[in-house]
């Protein structure tokens, strides 16, 4: 089982669109796939038209009173399941801080699913927190959607610094450009700087296009309702690149 976290310190960088579309593409490739929506806003859950049940509070999950297997929902797509978000996740840091081995609780919770899923995606809320530490310890790879603006390189460096301080493997951090608008000079200049300063930056990038925003209207992955759009092609290219990095078989 390979676990991907879709994470950035900043919000509004395309984490949810990435989570929804990559999880869908993973299932299309035949991998038994799970998406865990860890963001209390629940956008991934909304796109997949799923809501969590009342018995699925984070405290019950962390303390073992509820098993992850019991709160998994099937989506409308073959081989793709989801753990919908729950509003109690807004208290996640407090809950984790009150438990033993607080940095590794998410990893421990996922262990029970090792034989059930080949690929797991975590749609992560922004910020550096105990939850972020849990995510870093639980994931094989951290995918970092990065909008090409002057702040994006600084954000990437902050993540790398955090990994160094926590003695985690920096090579597992995989940044890629997101919400790219090539007509903007600031994006053009930032892309040049990023390519120079981030050696493991993915070649594939995701453009800022209206089709991506329409996911909220259709409540479906982009590839389902606009399979031949530029944005869909970009997500397909990104997934192909990530599969290669993670040594996933086609």
Mean pLDDT to the nearest integer, 199-226: 91
Cα separation of 44 and 47, whole Å?
A: 5
Of the pLDDT bands very low, low, confident and very high (cuts 50, 70, 90), residue 12 is confident
Q: What is the pLDDT of residue 227?
A: 94
Helical pair 130-138 and 150-165, crossing angle rounded to 10 deg: 80
Mean pLDDT to the nearest integer, 143-168: 89
* Residue 36, Cβ density class (10 Å: 0-12 exposed, 13-18 middle, ≥19 buried): buried
Helical pair 230-245 and 15-28, crossing angle rounded to 10 deg: 70
Q: Nearest-CA neighbor of 142 among 117, 166, 121, 128?
A: 121
SS3 call for 158: helix
pLDDT tens for 50-108 read: 876 555 566 677 666 777 888 899 999 999 999 988 766 665 656 665 565 567 778 88
Contact predicate 232/224, CB 8 Å: no
pLDDT for residue 151 is more than 90: no
Q: What is the pLDDT of residue 49?
A: 85
- Output phi, psi for 81, to 5 deg: -120, 165
Q: What is the pLDDT of residue 53?
A: 58
CA distances (Å), origin 243, targets 77, 182, 189: 20, 26, 29
Percent of the chain with pLDDT over 70: 88
Q: Which domains does the chain have, with CATH numbers?
A: 2-245 (3.40.50.300)
Q: Got the DSSP string for 117-139?
A: -SEEEEEPPSSSSHHHHHHHHH-
The whole-model pTM stands at: 0.91
pLDDT for residue 9 is more than 70: yes
pLDDT for residue 189 is more than 90: no
* 3-state SS track over 23-80: HHHHHHCCCCEEEEECCCCCHHHHHCCCCCCCCCCHHHHHCCCCCHHHHCEECCCCCE
């Amino acid at each position: 089982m390979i676990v991907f976290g879709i994470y950035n310190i900043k919000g509004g960088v395309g984490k949810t669109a990435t989570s929804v579309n990559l999880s869908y593409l993973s299932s299309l490739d035949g991998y038994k796939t799970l998406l865990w929506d860890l963001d209390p806003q629940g956008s991934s859950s909304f796109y997949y038209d799923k809501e969590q049940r009342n018995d699925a509070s984070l405290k019950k999950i962390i303390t073992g009173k509820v098993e992850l297997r019991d709160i998994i929902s099937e989506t409308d797509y073959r081989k793709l399941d989801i753990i919908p978000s729950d509003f109690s996740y807004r208290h996640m840091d407090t809950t984790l801080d009150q438990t033993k081995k607080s940095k590794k609780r998410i990893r421990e919770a996922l262990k029970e699913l090792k034989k059930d899923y080949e690929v797991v995606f975590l749609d992560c809320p922004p910020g550096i927190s105990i939850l972020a530490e849990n995510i870093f310890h639980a994931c094989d790879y951290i995918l970092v959607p990065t909008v090409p603006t002057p702040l994006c390189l600084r954000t990437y460096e902050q993540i790398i610094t955090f990994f160094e301080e926590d003695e985690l493997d920096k090579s597992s951090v995989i940044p890629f450009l997101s919400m790219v608008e090539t007509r903007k000079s600031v994006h053009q200049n930032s892309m040049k700087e990023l390519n120079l300063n981030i050696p493991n930056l993915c070649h594939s990038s995701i453009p800022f296009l209206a089709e991506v925003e329409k996911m909220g209207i259709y409540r479906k992955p982009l590839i389902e309702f606009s399979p031949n759009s530029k944005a869909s092609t970009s997500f397909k290219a990104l997934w192909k690149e990530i599969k290669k990095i993670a040594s996933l078989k086609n």
